[in-house]
Amino acid sequence: MPLIQLNNIEKILGDRLIFDKLVLSIEKGERVGLIGNNGEGKTTLFRTIVGEITPDVGEVGIPRGTKVGYLKQDATFDAGNTLIDEAELAFSEMHDMSHKLREIEHGMADAQGEALDKLLARYEKLQHQFDESGGYAWSHRLEATLLGVGLGRDVWETNVEKLSGGQRSRLALAKLLIAEPDLLLLDEPTNHLDLEAIEWLEEYLLAFNGAMLLISHDRYLLDRLTTRIVWLTQRRLKSYPGNFSAFLEQKALEELSQKRAYELQQKDIAKQQEFIRRFSAGQRAREAQGRAKKLNRLLKSDAVIDSVQSRKSMHVRFSNDARAGDQLLRVKELTKSFDDRVIWKDIAFNVKPGERIGIIGPNGSGKTTLLKILIGELDADDGEIRWGTNLNIGYYDQRLDEFDPDNTILEEVHDGIIPERKARDMLGSLLFSGDDVDKRMGDLSGGERARVALAELMLENPNVILLDEPTNHLDLQSADALERTLSNYDGTLLIVSHDRYFLQKIATRMLIIDPPSMIDFEGTFKEWHDKLAEDRKKPDQKKPDQKKNGSKNEPKKQAAMSSPAPVHKNPVQVKPNQKKDGQKKDNPYARPFGRFSVGEIEAQIAATEKEIASAQESLAQSFRDAGKSKKLQQVLDQQTDKLKQLEQEYFLRET
């Protein structure tokens, strides 16, 4: 039975038909990618599935008992909670069951006869539910998931109201994954995740046993995860087996076949119309009338083949009139800190004209800060930046907040600098036509503001472009258009991006920020990623020596990007009053399980959880024997303490 079934869904919002007879079913184990242009109604479809929007026609069928988890782009939390409090709400059922078990245990201590038998029956049933739901391993799963999505322990006690937009998105994702629903609805789940967290999420979702419906502009993610692509176009859904690359191939063949069939049908229609015109009178008039009736029936039927509707795509063109000097940029011993946290120290790199450099690193590593320091918007604490001569530097800011909200699009771009006709033509190439140019900047979507920013960048004719997350807010077709433009651009590019597909297409050199240092790698994103994978296969290999800035082609070992729960390694400064704890942390022989390997610790955790479950079951059956119950309770307490120490050791190793 499908986990979800959409039957002939129709929806009108205002005077616009959004959905027209949508049909979709998703089976357990399927990972379906939902794609479509911005504004087609992908998020509206999600809201329809979960019941936030009621369809005008048709029905959404979800079997009784199916647990649906929905990740929204704008998550809301209880304002009084800390991050860890909010995350633990995902285990509210586990908390309730654990509390009820303790209550029953206390009740059994005083109960006798039939009352005791009833409590025992309740206890056994509830204990079985508790074990089936993961038992005492819930805290381990909670911490592993928070760390996996990039929420380190240093923010766990932070009030949710003080979290950044990125942290809030990651918390919402963690809560959803912890709850382990039968059907996942994920709306842009990689927003605000760094590359390491994205790859952790990929591995998690690949192992997920339920079904998944995914909205994403991340083409790399769609290729790795999806078993089917559903395309929302012209108010209907079209389904294609395979991943995103397979969809592109099938769509191209489909459009080619449709184009040929359309041309043949149009040729036959023209032939019939010519016959009818020539012989509408005369000896063959009856035959002409018969053909006319047949043609009219065809033209009114669904058998008419539509022409291929090629959606307009934006056309970006960066002119590069000025030739840069031979030495474009030199960065030497650059250092930056915020408060007492060192972002990077003494990093150095040179840039030659025409280079295409991708900049990656974990969230909070200072990627955007580096770009802003390079263009002079922020000051470094120390170091030297020397730009070459004859440079026109353009900068694309991912925040997209440098606009006057009261300006129209035309006013923002025109600004009296260029002729209005040229401004209109340029905006037309970016899909702003007719009355679109009179929209207020404050009313635009993220995708529309991104296109305005690209228009302003085009006007500058830069020979050096610094781009901060340029594919954020762009739909798949617009991102592809930008890629084609930058591939043909002969200037210099420095690009901060977590879009792996985009980086692989454009960048030929990588700067990897790994606070407080930087690694300079001559090669593409895939070559860097392959190098990391190769290093991970050699766990006993001594960590290669790094130069002050990181030696080329010798990436420093990092937490495995595809491991079940990678952890961000933030520098930690031990204060004097933390010295004792720090010494204990650094000396494994001073800890109960410090000599164990990670694998041995994981095995011990699993064995201890089984011991706890067994002790609980025995305890439930022995309350008539006070002496035996007391011993079993002692065993249970000892095993619970042991599990806590094992988990502390496990997470200590991870950090």
pLDDT digits (tens, 9 = 90+) for 340-382: 889 999 999 999 999 999 999 988 889 999 999 999 999 999 9
The answer to whether residues 399 and 509 belong to one domain is: yes
Domain boundary among 245, 280, 299: 299
Number of domains in the chain: 4
Question: Where do runs of H (alpha helix) occur along 341-406?
Answer: 367-374
Q: What is the pLDDT of residues 297-310, one digit of tens each?
A: 988 888 888 887 66
The answer to whether residues 455 and 386 belong to one domain is: yes
Give the pLDDT mean for 536-553: 50
What sign does the dihedral 339-345-349-355 (CA atoms) show? negative
Stronger pLDDT, 562 or 293, i.e. the higher one: 293
Q: How confident is the model at residue 571 (pLDDT cuts 50, 70, 90)?
A: very low
Q: What is the pLDDT of residues 578-608, one digit of tens each?
A: 333 443 444 444 567 765 666 667 777 878 7
CA 522, CA 357: separation in Å to the nearest integer? 9
CA 647, CA 643: separation in Å to the nearest integer? 6
**Per-residue pLDDT, 654:** 56
CA 20, CA 238: separation in Å to the nearest integer? 12
Q: How confident is the model at residue 433 (pLDDT cuts 50, 70, 90)?
A: confident
pLDDT tops 70 at residue 172:
yes
Beta bridge partners of 341: 338
Cα 252 to Cα 149, 237, 258, 474: the distances in Å are: 36, 17, 10, 22
Give the pLDDT mean for 60-82: 88
Local structure of 275: helix, strand or coil? helix
CA 223, CA 564: separation in Å to the nearest integer? 20
How does DSSP classify residue 407?
Answer: S
Q: How many CB atoms lie within 10 A of CB 544?
A: 13
Q: What is the pLDDT of residues 515-526, one digit of tens each?
A: 999 999 999 999
The answer to whether residues 348 and 438 belong to one domain is: yes
Q: What are the φ/ψ torsions at residue 28 (nearest 5 degrees)?
A: -60, 135
Give the pLDDT mean for 550-555: 40
Cα 195 to Cα 45, 82, 177: the distances in Å are: 28, 26, 18
Burial category of 130 from C-beta neighbours within 10 Å (exposed 0-12, middle 13-18, buried 19 and up)? buried
**Per-residue pLDDT, 579:** 36
Q: Which of 138, 148, 247, 134 minimizes the C-alpha distance to 203?
A: 148
Q: Is residue 425 part of a domain?
A: yes
**Per-residue pLDDT, 643:** 81
Local structure of 318: helix, strand or coil? coil
Structural domain range at position 282? 255-299
**Per-residue pLDDT, 242:** 94
Peptide bond between residue 515 and the one before it cis (omega within 30 degrees of 0): no
The answer to whether residues 519 and 603 belong to one domain is: no
Q: Is residue 519 part of a domain?
A: yes
pLDDT, averaged across the chain? 82
The answer to whether residues 517 and 596 belong to one domain is: no
End-to-end Cα spacing for the chain: 43
Rg of the chain over Cα atoms, rounded to whole angstroms, equals 31
Q: How confident is the model at residue 7 (pLDDT cuts 50, 70, 90)?
A: very high
CA 371, CA 367: separation in Å to the nearest integer? 7
Beta bridge partners of 395: 466
Q: How confident is the model at residue 124 (pLDDT cuts 50, 70, 90)?
A: confident
Q: Are 49 and 71 in contact (CB under 8 A)?
A: no
Tallying the residues shown for the chain, one arrives at 655
Q: Are 8 and 21 in contact (CB under 8 A)?
A: yes
How does DSSP classify residue 72?
Answer: -
Please give the structure tokens belonging to residue 301: 């039927």
What amino acid occupies position 38? N
What amino acid occupies position 105? E
Give the pLDDT mean for 42-49: 93
The answer to whether residues 262 and 341 belong to one domain is: no
CA 363, CA 378: separation in Å to the nearest integer? 18
Of 18-22, 383-387, 422-426, 563-567, which range is least confident? 563-567
Q: Is residue 70 part of a domain?
A: no
Q: What is the pLDDT of residues 206-245, one digit of tens each?
A: 888 889 999 998 999 999 999 999 999 989 999 999 999 9
Q: How confident is the model at residue 619 (pLDDT cuts 50, 70, 90)?
A: low
Q: Are 248 and 226 in contact (CB under 8 A)?
A: no
The answer to whether residues 333 and 295 belong to one domain is: no
Please give the structure tokens belonging to residue 466: 């610094």
The answer to whether residues 339 and 469 belong to one domain is: yes
Domain boundary among 536, 556, 589: 536
Of 93-102, 150-159, 512-521, 620-629, which range is least confident? 620-629
CA 217, CA 500: separation in Å to the nearest integer? 11
Residue 134's region, left for phi above 0, alpha for psi from -120 to 50, else beta, is: left
The answer to whether residues 337 and 452 belong to one domain is: yes
Domain boundary among 488, 518, 536: 536
Q: Are 191 and 149 in contact (CB under 8 A)?
A: no
Q: Is residue 282 part of a domain?
A: yes
Q: Which of 419, 350, 423 minimizes the C-alpha distance to 387?
A: 350
The answer to whether residues 286 and 366 belong to one domain is: no
- Helix H or strand E segment including 66: none
CA 251, CA 269: separation in Å to the nearest integer? 26
Q: What is the pLDDT of residues 464-501, one digit of tens each?
A: 999 999 998 888 888 888 898 898 888 999 999 999 99
Q: Is residue 617 part of a domain?
A: yes
The answer to whether residues 358 and 414 belong to one domain is: yes
Q: Is residue 2 part of a domain?
A: no
Angle at 135 between CA 112 and CA 634, to 5 degrees: 55
Q: Is residue 542 part of a domain?
A: no
Q: Is residue 553 part of a domain?
A: no
Beta bridge partners of 70: 185
How many whole angstroms from its chain centre is CA 43?
Answer: 15
Cα 558 to Cα 29, 46, 348: the distances in Å are: 32, 37, 21
Please give the structure tokens belonging to residue 106: 């206390």
How many whole angstroms from its chain centre is CA 625?
Answer: 55
Q: How many CA atoms lie within 13 A of 574 on its CB side?
A: 11
Torsion of Cα atoms, 430 then 432 then 434 then 436, to 10°: -170
Of 326-335, 383-392, 430-439, 498-507, which range is least confident? 430-439
Q: How confident is the model at residue 627 (pLDDT cuts 50, 70, 90)?
A: low
Q: How confident is the model at residue 622 (pLDDT cuts 50, 70, 90)?
A: low
The answer to whether residues 151 and 109 belong to one domain is: yes
CATH number at residue 451: 3.40.50.300
Q: Is the pTM of this model over 0.85?
A: no
